[in-house]
Amino acid sequence: MINETNVSSMQAPDAGCESAGRELHALRAKCELLIKYANDIILLFDPESRLIEANDRAVETYGYSQAELAGMPAMKLRAPGFQDNLMINWEQSALLDGVRFETVHQRRDGSTFPVEVSMRLMEIDGRMFCQEIVRDISERNAQQEKIRQQLVELDNIRKEWITVFDSVSDPICIHDQDMRIVRANRAYADKAGLPFKKIIGQFYWQIFPKLDVPLHEFADPDDEGHVIRLANGEIYDSHCYHVKNEQGEDVYTIHIMEDVTERERAEQGLRRISRTLATLGAGNRALVRATSEAELLEEICNIAVSEGGYAMAWVGYLQKDAMQTIVPVAHAGFEQGYLGTLNISLTDSERGDGPVGRAVRFSTTQIIQNIQTDPSMTPWRESAAKRGYNACIALPLQIGDKVFGVLAIYAAATESFIPEEITLLEEMADDMSFGIASRRTQIERDDALQKYLEKSEQLLANLNGTIRAIAATVEVRDPYTAGHQNRVAELAMAIAQELGLDADRIYGLHLAGIVHDLGKIQIPAEILSKPGRLTDIEYAMIKQHPQSGYDILKGIQFPWPIAQIVLQHHERLDGSGYPNGLKDKEILLEAKILAVADVVEAMASHRPYRAGLGMDAALGEIAKNKGRLYDTAAVEACIKLFHEEKFAFVW
- Where are the strands (E) in 145-294, listed by range? 172-176, 181-184, 226-229, 235-244, 250-259
User: Which residues, listed in sequence order, are joined to residue 73 by a DSSP beta bridge?
Assistant: 50
Query: Which residue intervals of 1-127 are DSSP H helices?
Result: 18-36, 56-62, 66-69, 74-77, 94-97
pLDDT tens per residue, range 537-549: 888 888 898 998 8
DSSP single-letter state for residue 544: T
Dist. CA 106–CA 75, nearest whole Å: 10
Most confident listed range (132-136, 154-158, 205-209, 554-558): 132-136
Least confident of 245-254, 260-269, 339-348, 445-454: 445-454
- Please tell me which residue, 423 or 97, carries the higher pLDDT value: 423
State the average pLDDT over residues 110-123: 89
Question: Are 8-136 and 275-440 the same fold in CATH?
Answer: yes
Nearest residue to 297 via CA among 189, 197, 406, 162? 406
User: Which residues, listed in sequence order, are joined to residue 623 by a DSSP beta bridge?
Assistant: none
pTM listed for this prediction: 0.39
pLDDT, position 382:
92
State the average pLDDT over residues 223-232: 68
* CATH class given for the domain over 453-643: mainly alpha
Q: In sequence order, what are the residues at sequence separation of 6 or more whose Cβ sits closer than 8 angstroms to the Cβ of residue 462?
A: none
Dist. CA 116–CA 135, nearest whole Å: 5
Was domain 8-136 assigned CATH 3.30.450.20? yes
Dist. CA 572–CA 592, nearest whole Å: 8
pLDDT, position 30:
57
Least confident of 2-6, 189-193, 363-367: 2-6
Least confident of 21-30, 150-159, 289-298, 572-581: 21-30
Nearest residue to 60 via CA among 134, 145, 166, 130? 134
pLDDT tens per residue, range 29-64: 555 665 766 789 999 988 888 999 999 999 999 999
pLDDT exceeds 60 at position 224: no
Angle at 123 between CA 122 and CA 125, to 5 degrees: 150
The CATH number that domain 168-259 falls under is 3.30.450.20
Contact 334, 315 (CB under 8 A): no
pLDDT exceeds 90 at position 497: yes
DSSP single-letter state for residue 375: G
Which is it for strands 235-244 and 250-259: parallel, antiparallel or unpaired?
antiparallel
pLDDT, position 609:
63
**409-425: string of b/e by CB count within 10 Å (b at 16+)?**
bbbeeeebbeeebeebb
DSSP characters for 558-572? -SS-HHHHHHHTT--
pLDDT, position 570:
95
pLDDT exceeds 90 at position 604: no
**Confidence category of residue 473, pLDDT binned at 50, 70, 90:** low
Any idea which fold 275-440 has?
A: Beta-Lactamase (3.30.450)
**Confidence category of residue 93, pLDDT binned at 50, 70, 90:** very low
State the average pLDDT over residues 335-358: 90
pLDDT, position 115:
92
State the average pLDDT over residues 244-267: 78
DSSP characters for 609-637? TB----HHHHHHHHHHTBTTTB-HHHHHH
pLDDT, position 212:
73
- Where are the strands (E) in 46-126, listed by range? 51-54, 99-106, 112-124
Mean residue pLDDT of the chain comes to 82
Phi, psi torsion values for 30, nearest 5 degrees = -65, -40
C-alpha dist (Å) from residue 239 to 202, 224, 505: 19, 7, 56
3-state secondary structure of 215: coil
pLDDT exceeds 60 at position 252: yes
pLDDT tens per residue, range 3-16: 433 433 334 445 45
pLDDT exceeds 90 at position 270: no
pLDDT exceeds 50 at position 239: yes
Map out the domains of the chain as residue ranges. Answer: 8-136, 168-259, 275-440, 453-643
pLDDT, position 170:
81
Most confident listed range (36-50, 215-229, 344-358, 563-577): 563-577
pLDDT, position 196:
81
Q: Strand order of the sheet with strand 127-136? A: 51-54, 41-45, 127-136, 112-124, 99-106
3-state secondary structure of 153: helix
Least confident of 39-43, 388-392, 438-442: 438-442
